[in-house]
Amino acid sequence: MTSTTPAPKSRFLVLHDYGMGGSWWWVHARSAREVLETFAEVEVVDSPEAIERADGDLDEVDIDEPTMPPGLDGLRAKRNAQRGHPGFGALAERRIVHLWRCWNGDGDEPATYFMEVGSDGRRLRQVELADDGTALKSGPDDWTFNPPVVDLFDPEWADKEIQPDEFEAAWLRARHVDSE
């Protein structure tokens, strides 16, 4: 008879970044991937500076506990609802992903966005295609904030992937957002 000893847990600094702020927790888990598979829209922060600055008052939770602190509980429920859907985790752990999405809200003109996204869900480059055919390109230097905009485990993104050459063609056709 063999016994399976579970992998030891480590302490991970976890952030839910919502653009103008964020919620932070210490999560004890077996791996960073386990954290990302368990909670939607979070990132595991591993920069030594951030870890050193992390407030001692942060909630510390074990990933296997049945209840989570406010905020983290909803992110786990969201991830549980996604699990089992086609495309769940299909884009995870990819170095670069190219995606598209339509935007029709918040008073902005409707547009289609082509995005080049890194493994952390942050935009690397973006092309905004307006309905009138105008194409504007931008990068991190053009954005005041660049929080993660894509949760690569979210199954809704799997069918929004485009080929790198499709993104590059749009990038080459576009003019820079600051050019007149």
% of the chain at pLDDT higher than 70: 94
The rounded mean pLDDT for the chain is 92
Higher pLDDT, 146 or 172: 172
* Mean pLDDT value across residues 50-63: 88
For 12, the enclosing helix (H) or strand (E) is strand 10-17
Q: Phi and psi of 12, rounded to 5°?
A: -120, 135
* The pLDDT value given to residue 1: 55
Largest Cα span, the chain: 73
**Among candidate residues 59, 7, 16, 58, the one with its CA nearest the CA of residue 34:** 7
Q: Phi and psi of 64, rounded to 5°?
A: -90, -5
Name the range with the highest mean pLDDT among 17-26, 40-49, 51-60: 40-49
**Bridge-partner residues for 12, per DSSP?**
27
Q: Give the CA-trace dihedral at 98, 99, 103, 108, to 10 degrees.
A: -10
